[in-house]
Amino acid sequence: MSMSFKSLAAISALLFSVQTSYANDVEDQLQAAFDAGDLSGLHGVLVRRDGQTLAEGYFKGQDQRWGDPLGERQFGPEELHDLRSVSKSIVSLLYGIALDRGLVPPPEAGLLAQFPEYADLADPQRNLITIEHVLTMQMGLDWNERLPYSDPKNSEIAMELAEDKLRFILSRPIVDAPGTKWTYSGGSTALLGALISRGSGLTLDQFAKEALFHPLGITKCDWVIGLDGKTHAAASGLRLTAPDLARIGSMLADKGQYRGQQIVSKNWIKRSFTAHATVGGLRYGYQWWLAPMGTPPVWAAGFGNGGQRLTVGQKTGTVVVIQAGNYNKRDDWKLPVKIMEEFLIPGLPPK
């Protein structure tokens, strides 16, 4: 027996009521906790599913643009915000789009062969590094981002200060066999950005706008130029609004489609969300953090300095964006985890 229109209407009304209750509860609880000083540094929270906003809240606080102070801001849906290392995950999507267009080499291709001007760096071990090792941060090169980003010895900062950014990355000493050890590396994303720019003939920012942002209806963005004054900071320089970042997440939840157009191929999303390394209890794919359980992973996420998050629930299609300003704090991860566990997950309407 088919379901009657009255039954469908009743279910829809009930679902709307549940979602409205969830939104009101979450937003009120977040505001109360923020006012009590329990969510220090929180700037914004947005939860979406199936194109519908389940909860949304914005707050006031000190902010930066890639390290430059912006003072106190009242955040909102139109306010650009640093993504920091969530930028890495976006660059991975851009690489997949460029690959489908035949503009960049496949993951199996050798890395150094793509940069013939650095042929003097070739040696038997370095020649084994592939693009996939770059995508999964398993190049085997010496790289240290455990130091504060205010320290010029931090490898990402040293890269930005180098006269030749690409030579700096490619010439790092080999400390592990490629593909055997995961090492967090903004240099890997800079290499991907360089390959995208070379293959497309566009700057990273231009390619992002043409291939990803404009098809999604994203018109407001800012990709910071690095310290060399010439190339965009691929690893950490992208700034988007919370709703636009959520739009990218919704596209991923819909298997790369947006309004009937395939923006990112299903195959690339599958490869990106396939675990290649285990890191501190989590897993890592193509510049995406992955849940420790599930095949495919229960969730995939971009993490960024200060507490930035874009999380995509693989089964429910729930997308969570968190913006925060706890930049360069070792415990910056605690705020988004607290928000997810204490405010967002409890009471989330069933799918």
Burial class (CB in 10 A: 0-12, 13-18, 19+), 242: buried
In sequence order, what are the residues at sequence separation of 6 or more whose Cβ sits closer than 8 angstroms to the Cβ of residue 212?
90, 93, 94, 97, 218, 248, 263, 264
The string of pLDDT tens digits covering residues 20-54 is 899 999 999 999 999 999 999 999 999 999 989 99
The pLDDT-based confidence of 7 (bands split at 50, 70, 90) is: very low
Task: With a cut of 80, say whether residue 286 has pLDDT above it.
Answer: yes
Residues 13-26, mean pLDDT to the nearest whole number: 73
Enumerate long-range contacts of 56-60, CB under 8 Å, 24 or more apart. 56/23, 56/27, 56/242, 57/26, 57/27, 57/30, 57/31, 58/242, 59/31, 59/34
Comma-separated ranges of CATH 3.40.710.10 domains in the chain: 85-240
**pTM, whole model, 2 decimals?**
0.94
Task: List, edge to edge, every strand of the sheet that includes 222-223.
Answer: 81-82, 238-240, 222-223
Kindly report the length of the chain: 351
Is pLDDT above 90 for 8?
Answer: no
Residue 16 confidence (pLDDT): 52
Kindly report the CATH number that applies to the domain delimited by 85-240.
3.40.710.10
The token pair at 299 is 């969730």
Per-residue pLDDT of 132-180, as tens digits, reads: 999 999 999 999 999 999 899 999 999 999 999 999 999 999 999 999 9
Phi and psi at residue 258, to the nearest 5°? -145, 115
The encoded tokens of residue 285 equal 């794919």
CA dist 202 → 103, 183, 193 (Å): 11, 29, 10
Instruction: Examine the pLDDT at 11 and tell me if it is beyond 70.
Output: no
Output the pLDDT for position 351. Answer: 83
Is the preceding peptide bond at 77 cis, omega within 30 degrees of 0? no
Q: ∠ at Cα 254 (286, 261), nearest 5°?
A: 100
Q: What does the pLDDT read at residue 17?
A: 55
- 19 falls in which pLDDT band (50, 70, 90)? confident
pLDDT of residue 81: 98
If you ran DSSP here, which 8-state letter would residue 293 be given? S
